[in-house]
Amino acid sequence: MPQRKNVVRVDCTAVMGEESYVLVRQITTAEAREVLELSKQRNTEIREKATELRMPKELKPIYLQELQADSAQKSLEDALSRYADHILEWNWVFEDGTTMPLPSKDRAVLETLTGEELRLLARALGMLSSEDARDFA
């Protein structure tokens, strides 16, 4: 009998050590579209800000690159916060070994995660491919 397989268990050894995992319900196409729209909106804001910049021409590309990196990271954080309830189970811990609460119980825990941890969650949820995740490095 057909059965939808949108709940996946993802190995997290790379970011949390041996035997670590996260169980997620992957986002739908409509939810992924929302993530893309959020990213597009941020990029539009960056372009608008770039036209307002008054600084030496040679510094503008560097500043824009920083703005784009910040925007990409913020978009990822916003999307993960929005879909925190898709993280069903995990055995992640803080540096002192105490268990991290699930983001659905305490969204503030997302603020404590590293960029690599955020990217792993985004890939697990189906928000990013491995190639896309490099853009958020």
Assess if residue 1 is contained within a domain: no
DSSP 65-77: HHHHHHHHHHHHH
**Structural domain includes residue 68:** yes
| 102 has a pLDDT exceeding 90 | yes
Could you tell me the two tokens for 101?
A: 């609460």
On whether residue 121 sits in a domain, the answer given is yes
pLDDT at 12 over 90: yes
Full domain range(s) for residue 53? 7-134
Give percent of the chain above pLDDT 90: 36
Q: Given pLDDT bands bounded at 50, 70 and 90, which one contains residue 129?
A: low
Would residue 2 count as lying in a domain? no
24 C-beta neighbours (distance < 10 Å), count: 22
- pTM value? 0.69
Instruction: Tell me which DSSP letter residue 99 carries.
Output: B
Total domain count, the chain: 1
Question: Helices 29-52 and 60-82, interaxial angle, to 10°?
Answer: 150
List, edge to edge, every strand of the sheet that includes 87-90.
Answer: 7-11, 21-25, 87-90
% of the chain at pLDDT higher than 70: 92
Mean pLDDT highest for which of 37-41, 77-81, 94-98, 131-135? 94-98
Please give the Cα distance from 114 to 9 (Å, whole number): 20
